[in-house]
């Protein structure tokens, strides 16, 4: 069981490092009007403990900016490169795979829905023999943690979807303030039997928005096991408790 929980944390750490670095980089890019006029997407990748965010030109052939982060500080890039240059082979591959998956999702085979008021955040991760595309929900509404309505698509090396999963059946917005304005210190939601553990998407979403809402922990009741899984930001660990 511990190895399973460790693997969930490891995946959540990677998801968070990608998304947080994109958040930080997007803020920097949007502050530059010359760059925003050229903006045509982005790709993210990592090497050891360094995460790279490359923003792509509208022509889909060049990069307009690249931000490099160390995993211990995803708020401030240690290297900023503002220049128009040719995409590397890896960057071009990630962009093409990402676009290919998106085109497949536009068909009727996959039931991807985006609730009103939310936006999809796409996280593409290259593995040794496959690609993984996570979809998490994003919101600009203050005080909300947008759990749920999250997906994972697995593809072959050419970007053809071979397997997919929806972790939650719906969006589960958690408010950081009660009906009388009181601070909520912990959140809880439940999983159906098809999702028997706390998920990496749960943890990534909580780390991103829990920081903004000043919340430190949340719990998931997994009906498949009848256990509670509690995650704490400060320890970055999962604890299991009986109901």
Q: Give me the domain span that covers residue 214.
A: 2-105+114-241
Residue 179 has pLDDT above 80, yes or no: no
Sheet holding 227-232, edge to edge: 186-191, 217-222, 227-232, 237-241
What total of structural domains would you count in the chain? 1
Q: How confident is the model at residue 177 (pLDDT cuts 50, 70, 90)?
A: confident
Q: How confident is the model at residue 242 (pLDDT cuts 50, 70, 90)?
A: confident
By CB neighbour count within 10 A (0-12 exposed, 13-18 middle, 19+ buried), where does 16 fall?
Answer: buried
Q: How confident is the model at residue 2 (pLDDT cuts 50, 70, 90)?
A: confident
Residue 183 has pLDDT above 80, yes or no: no
Residue 50 has pLDDT above 90, yes or no: yes
Helices within the chain (DSSP H only): 2-30, 33-36, 89-105, 200-213
Q: What CA–CA distance (Å, rounded) separates 125 from 159?
A: 12
Q: Is 48 helix (H, G, I), strand (E, B) or coil?
A: coil
pLDDT for position 56: 97
Check the CA dihedral 34-36-40-42 and report its sign.
positive
By CB neighbour count within 10 A (0-12 exposed, 13-18 middle, 19+ buried), where does 234 fall?
Answer: exposed
Residue 214 has pLDDT above 90, yes or no: no
The pLDDT tens digits for 89-101 are 999 999 999 999 9
Q: Is 119 helix (H, G, I), strand (E, B) or coil?
A: strand
């Amino acid at each position: 069981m511990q190895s399973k929980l460790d693997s969930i944390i490891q995946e959540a750490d990677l998801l968070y490092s990608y998304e947080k670095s994109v958040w930080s980089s997007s803020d920097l890019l949007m502050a530059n009007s010359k760059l925003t006029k050229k903006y045509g997407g982005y790709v993210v990748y990592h090497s050891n403990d360094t995460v790279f965010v490359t923003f792509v030109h509208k022509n889909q052939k060049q990069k307009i900016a690249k931000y490099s982060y160390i995993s211990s500080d995803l708020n401030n890039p240690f290297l900023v490169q503002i220049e128009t240059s040719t995409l590397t082979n890896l960057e071009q591959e990630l962009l093409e795979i990402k676009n290919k998956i998106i085109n497949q999702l536009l068909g009727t085979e996959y039931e991807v829905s985006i609730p009103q008021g939310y936006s999809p955040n796409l996280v593409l991760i290259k593995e040794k023999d496959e690609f993984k595309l996570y979809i998490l929900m994003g919101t600009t509404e203050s005080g909300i943690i947008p759990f749920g309505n999250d997906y994972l698509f697995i593809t072959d090396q050419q970007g053809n979807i071979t397997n997919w999963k929806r972790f939650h059946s719906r969006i589960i917005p958690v408010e950081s303030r009660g009906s009388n304005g009181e601070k909520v210190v912990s959140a809880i939601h439940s999983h159906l039997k098809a999702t028997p553990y706390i998920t990496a998407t749960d943890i990534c979403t909580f780390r991103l928005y829990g920081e903004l809402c000043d919340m430190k922990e949340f719990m998931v009741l997994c009906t498949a096991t009848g256990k509670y899984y509690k995650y704490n930001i400060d320890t970055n660990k999962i604890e299991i408790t009986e109901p």
